[in-house]
Structure 1
Amino acid sequence: MSFKSAITVSLVEEARGGPFVYWDGMQDACEKASALGFDAIEIFAPGPDAVDEAELKGLLEKHDLVVAAVGTGAGMVKHGLSLTNPDADHRAKARDFVKQMIDFGGVYNAPAIIGSMQGKWGGDVSRDQALAYLREALNELGPYAAQHNVPLFYEPLNRYETNLLRTVAEGVEFCKTLDNDNIKLLADLFHMNIEEADLAAAIREGKGYVGHIHFVDSNRQAAGMGHMDHAPIIAALKDIGYDGYLCAEAFALPDSDTAARNTIEAFKRLTA
């Protein structure tokens, strides 16, 4: 069993300054990630047509990289779409956007991630109703992703970003209510640091459900740049048999190159 390293690249100009390491295009990201020894990139794109397929396949081959996952957050950030919006037409558009991103990632055997597009409850939408909308979406989108032989990742977020599901345990319980088993949880250490009493215990509770890790520190900088103790988390991941990616969804602080280098050094140190 071995962990794999990944790093984020954002192509969404509206999100500049957000928690992504590389910002200057696919070629720049692939060259730099490969030079540092990363196994994969995670792509945050404005839409399914933002990347030329032949160009990206060429870059991946040249630099011995794969795509670990693709984000759908631009659906919210750029297009204002939410899977729990009270309007049925809006929700349908949101599901269609996610399907397009599932298809985009599927070309590279990369799962899509549902994070900010899950939305919130409030106003005309009760918590139960919002969760029903989310369940409806995941019951449709999980099997859709399965057509590409990949799971769909659902990410519990911290209380400042959603009021739906915030912990791994809540995510597990929700997954048990779905009528498909193709939804896996994305456990983001930054969100977990806010919501979980014990990150390692939460990982163990997620056995069988955790499919992807966002590998960062307490301040959402590169691992090692905050006050998080990663050793027990890595031990817990080993205990549950996790063999997926540890992906840096981190701020490019003090700059992209330093954040990337700090990440790969922490990855090697912790997983040795």
Structure 2
Amino acid sequence: MAVTEATTKDWDPARYGAFRDLRLRPALDLLAQVGELPAGEVVDLGCGDGAVGPALAARFKPEHPLSGVDSSAAMLETAAGRMTQWENPIYGALIQADIALWAAGTPPALIFSNAALNWLPDHASLLPRLATMLTPGGVLAVQMPRQGGAPSHRLLAEVAERLFPGRFPVARAPVLTAGDYAQMLLPLGEVRAWTTEYVQILDPVPQGHPVRAFTESTAMRPFVAGMSAEEAQAYVAAYDAALAAAYPALPDGRVLFPFTRVFFVLERP
């Protein structure tokens, strides 16, 4: 893994997109649970590189305009490039904004957020705020990883603490259980909430452990961002070794990687 200032300060669309199919499947599972919408815009909140855009556009356009919102300039640049690959642009607008502070200009029919809100704290305030932006009958549909207790994510903090004591305080993951979100949102409308464990089969990679190749573009970023290049190399090597024990390779070199995700769909009255 080559660690540079560019890769630690912003998202890397190429690394993130290397597992596009595995990351897209939960979004499609969430989309399948969204029913008919009232009039209004569809917002892809935390749209990233626009991977879910084609599915949202195919489902809801032209009746519902589609906008993407993300804080990463690199991801939005990739999403903008994706717009030119279609006869009709996927997104009508791409907005760079902190999704924790974003507010809709007009009430959306759907706020769709795939693997983005897990990066934000205080869901007890954030989610009701998003829900109350919706037009009457509008829908908030959210999918978030809930992987904090799994070796893939737990070892990130454990290895960092072992190598660099006290430099990386362990923060409680903000993602709650599906039941917690149902209880939180029931006063605001009809809620469906569920959890799915995806057993992902990861192929061997040229360097390092396959699980590290999956996490390095997401959960590993906050740790590596606070390290020098030399520290990051030592950290990655130690994390690879820990992963090899936690996720041993199959005879063909592939690795089974269970991954838990939480979903909920709220329909406003």
TM over 0.5: no
Larger Rg: 2
- What is the TM-score when the length of structure 2 is the normalising length? 0.31
- Greater strand share, structure number: 2
- What is the TM-score when the length of structure 1 is the normalising length? 0.31
